[in-house]
Structure 1
Amino acid sequence: MELNFFPLYMSRPLFYASVLGLSFLSKRFNIINLSILFFEIAMLKLFFSFPCMFMFYLVAAIGKGQIHDIGGQKIDTTWFDAHATFYGDISGGETMQGACGYGDLFKQGYGLETTALSTALFNKGLTCGACFEIKCVNDPQWCYPKAGSIKVTATNFCPPNYSKSDGNWCNPPLKHFDLSMAMFTKLAQYKAGIIPVMYRRVLCSKKGGVQFQVKGNPYWTVVLIYNVGGAGDVKDVKIKGSSTGWIQMRRNWGVNWQTGTKLTGQSLSLQVTTSDGKMVEFDKVAPANWQFDQIFNGKKNF
């Protein structure tokens, strides 16, 4: 009889050895009925295969909703618990600028769909530009019952406060979102002040190309990179002048990257890599006669 299946972690020799062992025991205890022997073999298969099947489905269940490949980009889509507050008024004036180094968020395409992150989420500015989906949960007094969820981009930092013993929602290790008032009030009544939420990372959906604003001086070039789609948070940038090779830039702060190489009078190309490892090259995004503080459209996105 050919045995056509084996447990995932059980080799063919080991399985046959077990069968021979059963055969020996059958003879030892005068079990001569072949149907009984085959029943024992079937039980052996079941004994070894059931734990494997159980572990397979357990691992599959645990892994569900974690690292997903969406359009070639990998992000962790797991839902996590956190809390949310808001800052500023409904106009969102206080949400402009911020620790990520953005400017006028309306002009840059973010509007009021933004959030500041607590220390645990901000990650020293590495998370700037990332996008999150957030929903209000487990607070029927304040959560709007049919609010659904909101999607926001990380543009600012909610600093920790060690001056008081409680109510320090942005202190590590807490995961906290300080939303614009306009976004908070899509989820709950503003009188709530603070609400329990669940959140997850999502891909950023941006209109148009990645934008580059060149700042600095002839001896020190800074590039502000915004309107980044896909994973959203940039982890690496290289720049190349028409008279240079690729130059590694370093993060100045947030979404601003810098180099000390003199690049005036040269056309500029950039390679931008987001946190999921995807790199997009923007060839000659700025012409040779570019000027400081000009903004250039990369004409493509992640």
Structure 2
Amino acid sequence: MAIMARLGRLQVSLNTLLLVCFEATRVLSIDPWAVTDWGEATATFYGGQDASGTMGGACGYGNLYSTGYGVQSTALSNALLNNGLTCGACFALECRLDGSKWCYPGKEIVVTATNACPPGSEGGWCDPPKLHFDLSYPMFSQLAQPVAGVIPVKYKRVTCQKQGGIRFTMHGNPWFDYVLVYNVGGMGAVCGVAIKGDKTGWYPMSQNWGQYWSASSNLVGQALSFQVRLCDGNTQEFHNVAPSNWGFGQTFEADNNFY
């Protein structure tokens, strides 16, 4: 009986060790774009002092003032952009005082991912597998003196606080719906979209590029609803967002958002 008891205790200890090892592996395997505890990266700036050079970009948001992102934006290296699925995500950044004399102490900013910083940019700081934020000049200058050029930063994902509802801009033609999804609250980054008319079921949409989503469906003359899934799994339906007389090139705002 004593031997059996010792074996039982050994099995419990072994199970506990395996569980600890599993949890450690799980934590270490978190993708860099998904970290909600502080990670380490670097940052530069682009676009000039008025941030005009940051408009447009790989996420498809176009004029960032028109779409509500303004200068609170950043381009991401490929290791953070996740093939455009991190577009719309929000990050908090701090300059690491232990890594640069140009840092402003106690400063933290929140920016939205709106563009890509491709390999070969910013003197190689965006090359794989580097984790890098290419900020608008106004945001960089809140963290450090711009003379620094490049700074070490701490970063983490945070909830996006957006004004108003999630927005959908319709593009395409009667047989091809091509929709820009933006002004997304919650975790901000969209990983799945579906569309339906008031006379149809749901049509799953595919990521075309950035935050443009497409489907081969003819929904002209029908009121439109959308189902949106964030990359953290949070899913909501937005019913009758566009009336039956909607047109291509128009933007429609839902009554709700991810909060």
TM norm structure 1? 0.75
- What is the 5 A alignment of 1:100-115? 100-115=59-74
**Matched letter for residue 92 of structure 2:** E
Matching residue within 159, 163, 166 for 1:203: 159
In structure 2, runs of 5+ residues without a counterpart are: none
Among candidates 203, 225, 230, match of residue 247 of structure 1? 203
Match of residue 259 from structure 1 = 215
In the TM superposition, 1:100-249 aligns within 5 A as: 100-137=59-96, 138-147=98-107, 149-161=108-120, 167-249=123-205
Matched, 1:299 2:230: no
Cα 1:84–1:76 shift into 2, 3 Å: closer
| Alpha-carbon spacing, 1:223–1:55, altered in 2? closer, same or farther (3 Å) | same
RMSD (Å) for aligned C-alpha atoms: 3.0
The CA distance in 1 between the partners of 2:208 and 2:5, in whole Å, is 65
Q: Which amino acid aligns with 1:133?
A: A
Query: For 1:131 and 1:263, how far apart are their aligned partners in 2?
Result: 33
* CA distance in 1 between partners of 2:226 and 2:126 (Å): 35
Q: Which residue of 2 aligns with 1:94?
A: 53
Give SS of 1:178's match.
strand
Quick one: structure 1 residues 268 and 48, their matched pair in 2 at CA, closer, same or farther if it must change by over 3 Å?
closer
Q: How far 1:76 sits from its partner (Å)?
A: 3.6
Q: How far is the alpha carbon of 1:223 from its aligned partner?
A: 1.0
**Contact kept in structure 2, 1:66 and 1:76, CA below 8 Å:** no
Contact 2:100–2:151 (Cα < 8 Å) also in 1: no
- Once the two structures are overlaid, the 10-residue window that deviates more, 186-195 or 100-109, is 100-109
Residue correspondences, number: 254
User: Is the CA contact (8 Å cut-off) linking 1:142 and 1:188 kept in structure 2?
Assistant: yes
Classify 1:224/1:17 alpha carbon distance in 2 versus 1 (closer, same or farther; 3 Å).
closer
Equivalent-residue separation in structure 1 for 2:59 and 2:2 (angstroms): 59
The Cα offsets for residues 138-160 of structure 1, whole Å up to 9 and x where unpaired, read as 2342101232x111110000010
Identical-residue share of aligned pairs (%): 50
CA distance in 2, matches of 1:274, 1:48: 40
Q: Which amino acid letter does the alignment assign opposite residue 185 of structure 2?
A: G
Structure number with bigger Rg: 1
**Cα distance change on mapping 1:55 and 1:271 into 2, 3 Å:** same
How far apart are 1:55 and its partner, in Å? 6.3
Kept after mapping to 2: 8 A contact 1:66/1:78: no
Q: Structure 1's 120 and 76: CA in aligned 2 closer, same or farther, altered over 3 A? A: closer
Q: Which runs of 4+ in 1 moved over 3 A?
A: 13-19
